[in-house]
Amino acid sequence: MEISRVSQYRVGLDSNIQLNNLNRKVYFGNENIKDTFQTTSPAKLYNENLIKNQINQNSEIKRILSENHIAGKLNMTELYDLMNNHCLDTQNTVSAIVANLPQALRQKVNIKNLKDAAMLHDFGKVLIPAEILNKTCSLTPEEHRIMDLHSELGYQLLKNTGVNNEVLNLVRNHHNTSGNNYIPDINLQILNLADKYSALTEKRVYKEAYSPKKALTVIYADVKRGDVHPFIFNALVKAVNNNEVSQNVNKC
């Protein structure tokens, strides 16, 4: 609240309201109004100091980095880019898929946990070496193995931050739809599908963006293998046809 003419606002002033003569702003006591988005959104976890603290306190993270000869340098630029582009797009795609599910399936979805997991699913990439993340050609088998560690690293980085267990399991298993050690329930299938569609339709340093039709054709192979329920795939198709998801993000 800006006060341009203090004389007009004398009535009702008390000890909890102070006038700053430099810029004439009113402050209501010592309480700051909190931004509820920042305090409840998983975006608040994209914090360098928080990540460093989690690494220092978690011996499992240190073991993974040591055994795989990963230096442990934080790639915050890449992480912020993921948050603002791919993760946000995945979150929007998740919402569009859920909105187009049959009612009986929609009732089985925890949309809050699913959206939080979409925003956090690639969190572990902050510890994947930048030369692998930004490689402009195909990864070697060893580089693929290192890249695949991001799911477990994300889980380890987040498990002591107050994130609930369902979200943690979605982060940990978002590439695992084969049922190994974790049941690929509807939430996991939706997250996996949204993640893959977003990745395919984005421009990356190593590829151009796929058209929606081409991306859906690639994903249909997962349906035929039984990794994705046809109803979930159909919900994505409806969302694409209704222009409810990004057609081409065109971001590296």
Tens digit of each residue's pLDDT (9 = 90 or more) over 123-143: 999 999 999 999 888 899 999
For the chain, the three-class secondary structure string (H helix, E strand, C coil) is CECCCHHHHCCCCCCCEEECCCCCEEEECCCCCCCHHHHHCHHHHCCHHHHHHHHHHCHHHHHHHHHCCCCCCCCHHHHHHHHHHHHHHHHHHHHHHHHCCCHHHHCCCCHHHHHHHHHHCCHHHHHCCHHHHCCCCCCCHHHHHHHHCHHHHHHHHHCCCCCCHHHHHHHHHCCCCCCCCCCCCHHHHHHHHHHHHHHHHCCECCECCCCHHHHHHHHHHHHHHCCCCHHHHHHHHHHHHCCCCCCCCCCC
Higher-confidence residue: 84 or 6? 84
**pLDDT band at 184; cut points 50, 70, 90:** low
Q: Where do the domains of the chain lie?
A: 1-33, 39-241
More reliable by pLDDT, 47 or 19: 47
Across all residues in the chain, what is the average pLDDT? Answer: 83
What mean pLDDT do residues 210-235 have? Answer: 92
Position 1 pLDDT exceeds 70: no
What pLDDT score does 185 carry? 86
* 249 has a pLDDT exceeding 70: no
Mean pLDDT lowest among 85-99, 118-132, 140-154, 222-236: 222-236
Tell me which CATH homologous superfamily contains domain 39-241. Hypothetical protein af1432 (1.10.3210.10)
Count of residues making up the chain: 252
In tens, the pLDDT along 13-39 reads: 444 444 344 444 444 444 444 444 456
